[in-house]
Amino acid sequence: MHIQDIFAQHPTTFSFEFFPPKTDEASEELFRTIAALQPLQPSFVSVTYGAGGTTRDRTHDLVVRIERDTNLTAVSHLTCVCHSLAEMTAILDRYAASGIENVLALGGDPPKNLANFDRTKDAFRYAEELVRFVRSRPGANGRGFGVGVAGFPEGHPGCPNRLQEMDHLKRKVDAGADYICTQLFFDNRDFYDFRERCDLAGIKVPILAGIMPITSKAGMVRMAELAAGAHFPAKLIRAVGRCADDAAVARVGISWATEQCADLLHHTVRGIHFYTLNRSDATRQIYQNLGVESSAALRAG
């Protein structure tokens, strides 16, 4: 389904993010995860794109398989880094031919082994240019692709000037984005402030809040590295610090994420996007803690 139709039908969206597995075994495991999450009735799911196109085929194949074998709509992530215009054109034409209707257009970061990669060879430097290009393509069914972009409630490290950063986000939206999905955050005040700053900048598209429960101490360290310095409130650090083992950390992390979701719903969030890490337990537990069996029940409340 086109993302515009999803937003028209769902006053609040609930979406789950997966990454493409590397092996057949992990792929089957992921489909067991997806089967376990399907009863929650997400509005859509999304599939990440490995840095520099390292998962180009796996992302494509996973999105196609989700759309073919389940009743879910899948959004395919796509990044600018390491792609020529011919490659981008080929990727989008293949998506369209496969019936993939929606893309999350991202700047991306160079792969770790190519830290000094020469970006002048890329067709697009910033996501804004990719959004414009994706919009210019016919897409599946000749309707054009649905397009999402990333937003950073705590700020993106590539732009320390928060006023300029908001200008960049506004340009990205004006280039044709249908919605913004945010980076994970642990303090809802960061999200509410971001949402208000977007409003002041004249950004009116839906803003989906990115939620990722902490499930282990090592996972927390990885989040801090990958999410470019996620801000962990002192209260959360203290609570995790008290935990005897990772099972206890997961209980604390899931409880924290549940509180975040309840508060976001109370503050009429337009959507919640769960970073699942290809596991179903934490997301299912959050729904259970919220007292519901599906997204439909969350929307109704």
Strand partners, 181: 150, 208
Neighbours of 130 (CB within 10 A): 28
Position closest to ligand FAD via CB: 107
Residue 172 or 270 having the CB closest to ligand FAD: 172
State the burial class of residue 89 (Cβ atoms within 10 Å of its Cβ: 0-12, 13-18, 19+).
Answer: middle
Backbone phi, psi, residue 147, to 5°? -130, 130
Q: Residue 75 corresponds to which tokens in the numbers above?
A: 């959004």
Backbone phi, psi, residue 116, to 5°? -100, 25
Residue 159 or 290 having the CB closest to ligand FAD: 159
Q: Which of 138, 140, 60 is nearest to 97 (CA)?
A: 140
Instruction: Report the nearest approach of ligand FAD to the CB of residue 104 (Å).
Output: 6
Residue 159 or 292 having the CB closest to ligand FAD: 159
**Residues interacting with ligand FAD, by CB under 6 A?**
48-49, 51, 77, 79, 106-109, 126-128, 150, 156, 158-159, 165, 168, 172, 181, 183, 210
| H/E stretch holding 99 | none
Instruction: Report the nearest approach of ligand FAD to the CB of residue 160 (Å).
Output: 9
Q: Which of 230, 220, 243, 298 is nearest to 266 (CA)?
A: 298
Instruction: Report the nearest approach of ligand FAD to the CB of residue 58 (Å).
Output: 12
Residue 25 is a catalytic residue: no
Distance in angstroms (rounded) separating the CA atoms of residues 131 and 193? 25
Distance in angstroms (rounded) separating the CA atoms of residues 82 and 119? 7
Q: Can you tell me which residue has the tokens 């999803």? A: 6
Distance in angstroms (rounded) separating the CA atoms of residues 100 and 114? 29
Which is the catalytic residue, given 17, 101, 129, 154? 17
Instruction: Report the nearest approach of ligand FAD to the CB of residue 248 (Å).
Output: 29
Instruction: Report the nearest approach of ligand FAD to the CB of residue 190 (Å).
Output: 13
Which residues does the annotation mark as catalytic?
A: 17
